[in-house]
Chains A and B, each alone.
Chain A
Amino acid sequence: MILCLFLAAVLPITVSRLMSSFEKGIFSRATATPAVIGAEGSRLDLALQSLYFNRKLEGTLPYSEYKRIVAAGDVKAIPIHVKHTARDYPIVATTNEYFSFRSLRFEQGRPFGVIGECVVGASVAAALQLKEGYGVLSDRPDLLGLAGDYPLKMKVVGVLEKQNSADDAAVFVDLKTQWVIEGFGHGHQDLESEGQAENVKRESDRIVALPSKVVPYTEIMPENLASFHFHGALDDFPVSAIIIEAPDVKRETIFEAKYQNNDRGLQFIRPVESLETLMSTLFKVKRLINVNTWLIGISTALLMGLVVLLSLKLRQNEMETMFKIGCERKMIATIQLTEMGIILAVGLGLAVAFAVLLDWLATRGLENWIAGQ
C-alpha cells in the first residue's frame, strides 16, 4: 500500500515541484532582464540567448547601436555577444556593468580590465580547476579550417561566487577580446628580432617556414598588448544583443517605440513575454499530467479504500478478541487509524522526499535543456 501511494503521488508532486522551480528560476531571470534589443528573427531565441547564452542567433546588430543608445543616455545598455566557447563553456563578451546588473559577486580577483582577460563563473572554475592567474583557451571553431584560426589563451583575473544561474557556466570577456577570437583583431608574434631566430626555419630566401616550436595559440600579454589592433571600424563589429534597463515604464515605452517597424533590421523584446509562449506549452503538458494524476489518484484512492475495507474485514476477529480481552473500542479504532496514518505518511513522505531529491538534481539540468532547445 505504501508503494501504491508512493507511485500514485510521486509523479504529480515531482512534476509540480519541477515546474515550480523551473518557472521560478527561468522567470526570475527573465523578470530581471527587462528588455533586449537584437537583430530581427526569433524572439524566443533572442530572449534565451540573452538569458542563457546558448542560442545561435540568425543575425547580429552593430556595435554602433550600443554606442548610440549609451550616448542618448535615456536607458542603461549592456551589450552581450556570444559566439565562441572555451572548453565548451560559452564565452560571453560584455562590459563590466554586467556584473553589477546581475548582482554578481567575486569570490576571487576582479573584473576584466584589458584585452585577453576573463572572469569565469563558479561552475567553470570548479570543472576546469581554474583560479585567479590561470589560463583558459578558447575552442577552435573549425578544426579543419585552412585559415588556421588559433585559439586565444585568456588570463583568468576573476572567479565569481556561485549564483545557481546560467552565469555560473560562462566565461566573461571584454567585447574586444571576443572580436580578437573572431578574427577581427590580432597581434603580431615577433619572429624578426634578436633571440627569435630559432623560431624561424628558413628554407630559402623566399620561403619562411615556422617550426612546431611556434606556439599554436594566441596569447595577449603585456609584451605584445600594444601590437594588437583591429581591422575595420569598431562600430561595424557584431554584438548579439543589448540588454536594456529603463529607469521607468514611460522611458521604456518611448524607447520601445523607436524599434517598432524600424528599417534597421532590429527588434525590441521583453524576455518575460517571449518566455510566456514557452511556458504556456509546458503548462499544457502540466495540465495533461494533472488530469492524469486525478484519474490515477481517484483509482488509487478507490483501490486503497477497498484494501482497507478488506483488511478491516479480515482483522475483525482480531479486533473482537482485543475488545474481549479488555481493550477499549476507542483504542482499537486508534490502532487502526494509526496504521493507516503511518501508511499514508510513509507513502506520501517517500513521494515528497523523492520529488525534492529529483528537483535538486534536475532543476538546473531541465532549465539548461529547455533553454538549449
Chain B
Amino acid sequence: MISIKNLYFKYPKSDFAIQISELSMSAGQRLAIVGPSGSGKTTLLSLIAGIEKPVRGNLSVCDHDVDSMNDHQRRRFRISEIGFVFQRFELVDYLNVRDNIALPYHLNRGLKLSPEIRKEVNVLAEKMAIGDLLHRYPNKLSQGEKQRVAICRALITSPKLVLADEPTGNLDPANKQIILDLFFEQFSGSARGLVVVTHDMAVAEQCDRIVDFSTFHAAKMGASV
C-alpha cells in the first residue's frame, strides 16, 4: 500500500528536511509513527497524502506514484484514496454535524452527494455513537464527540488509506479509550490501511507496526529511517 525509497523532502526557505531511505506498509496494515515533536512525523503524513511533494525519491501510495504527480493529480488522488483525521478535529463551526461529515462531498466537484452517501452519513454516525447529534453544531459538542465527527468525515469517502495525526491528542483519558475502540473497530476485517502519528504508546500498541522517528535527528540534514 505504501512504498518509500530514498525519499528526500525539504521545506522551501527552511533548514528542516527529512530523508527516508526505505519504508513500506501492506494493505490492511496499521502503522504507528512515534517520536519527539519536530522530528518530521506530520511532514511524512503530508507527503503520503500528497499535500507536499518530495524533492526527490520514490513514493508510491495505493498504487499511485505520488512523487511524479502534479498538484491537480495529487489533489484528486487525495480525494479518492485518503481520509485524514486531524489532531484538533478541524470541524467547520458554521456547519452542523451532518454537513461536517459530508464536507468532502460539498467541497469537491468530483464527488456527488447522492442519497446513498446521505444514508452512509447516518450509518457512520450510528457506528461512532453520534447518530442523535447530526443536527448539532460543533460549539455544542464535547471533545470526544468532535473527534468522532472528524473520524466519520475521514471515512465517508471510503478511502483505502486513513492518515491520523495525534487522534487522541486533545481527548481526556476517559474519552480516549472509547474513541480508540470505536476508531480501530472501523479497520478490523478490512483492507483499509491506517497510518497514525502519535505520542501515545497506548495508541501505538494497538497498531501492527511501530516506526520510531526518535532514532534520527530533526535537524539540518533531516531525519532518515
Q: Across the interface, which residues of B come within 8 angstroms of A331, CB to CB?
A: 107, 109
Interface residues on A, range: 10 to 19
Q: What is the distance, in angstroms, from A266's C-beta to the closest C-beta of chain B?
A: 75
- The residue from B84, B88, B108 contacting A327, defined by CB atoms under 8 A apart: B108
Stretch of A28-36, A314-322, A349-357 lying at the B interface: A314-322
Task: Check B78 against A318 for contact (C-beta < 8 Å).
Answer: no
Q: Across the interface, which residues of B come within 8 angstroms of A323, CB to CB?
A: 51
Decide yes or no whether A325 CB sits under 8 A from chain B.
yes
Q: Across the interface, which residues of B come within 8 angstroms of A74, CB to CB?
A: none
Q: Across the interface, which residues of A come within 8 angstroms of B92, CB to CB?
A: 318, 321
- The residue from A317, A318, A324, A326 contacting B108, defined by CB atoms under 8 A apart: A326
Q: Which chain A residues (299-321) contact chain B, with CB distance < 8 Å? A: 317-318, 321
Q: Which residue in chain B gives the minimum CB-CB distance to A328?
A: B75
Q: What is the distance, in angstroms, from A258's C-beta to the closest C-beta of chain B?
A: 78
Q: Which residue in chain A gives the minimum CB-CB distance to B76?
A: A326
Give the number of residues in B that approach A within 8 Å (Cβ atoms): 17
- The residue from B76, B84, B88 contacting A324, defined by CB atoms under 8 A apart: B84
Task: Check A326 against B107 for contact (C-beta < 8 Å).
Answer: yes
Bound Cα distance A325, B84 (Å): 7
Contact with A along B86-108 (1 / 0, CB 8 A): 10101010000000000110011
Q: Which residue in chain B gives the minimum CB-CB distance to A325?
A: B104
Q: What is the distance, in angstroms, from B157's C-beta to the closest C-beta of chain A?
A: 8
Q: Across the interface, which residues of B come within 8 angstroms of A328, CB to CB?
A: 75
- The residue from A318, A326, A327 contacting B90, defined by CB atoms under 8 A apart: A318
Task: Check B86 against A326 for contact (C-beta < 8 Å).
Answer: no
Bound Cα distance A134, B173 (Å): 91
Contact with A along B57-79 (1 / 0, CB 8 A): 00000000000000000011011
Q: Across the interface, which residues of A come within 8 angstroms of B88, CB to CB?
A: 317
Bound Cα distance A230, B10 (Å): 110
> With A326-B107, A327-B107, A327-B108 given, is the CB distance from A321 to B75 under 8 Å?
no
Q: Which residue in chain B gives the minimum CB-CB distance to A317?
A: B90
Q: What is the distance, in angstroms, from B71's C-beta to the closest C-beta of chain A?
A: 9
Task: Check A321 against B79 for contact (C-beta < 8 Å).
Answer: no
Q: What is the distance, in angstroms, from A310's C-beta to the closest C-beta of chain B?
A: 16
Q: Across the interface, which residues of B come within 8 angstroms of A327, CB to CB?
A: 107-108
Bound Cα distance A326, B74 (Å): 9
Q: Which residue in chain B gives the minimum CB-CB distance to A326?
A: B79
Task: Check B49 against A324 for contact (C-beta < 8 Å).
Answer: yes
Bound Cα distance A323, B84 (Å): 11
Q: Apart from A317-B88, A324-B51, list 11 A-B contacts with CB within 8 A.
A: A318-B90, A324-B84, A325-B78, A325-B79, A325-B103, A325-B104, A325-B153, A326-B108, A327-B107, A331-B107, A331-B109
The 10 closest A-B pairs by CB, nearest first: A326-B79, A327-B107, A321-B90, A326-B78, A326-B108, A325-B104, A324-B84, A322-B107, A326-B75, A324-B51
- List 27 A-B residue pairs with CB atoms under 8 Å apart, sorted by A's residue number: A317-B90, A318-B90, A318-B92, A321-B86, A321-B90, A321-B92, A322-B103, A322-B107, A323-B51, A324-B49, A324-B51, A324-B78, A324-B84, A324-B86, A325-B78, A325-B79, A325-B84, A325-B103, A325-B107, A325-B108, A326-B75, A326-B76, A326-B78, A327-B108, A328-B75, A331-B107, A331-B109
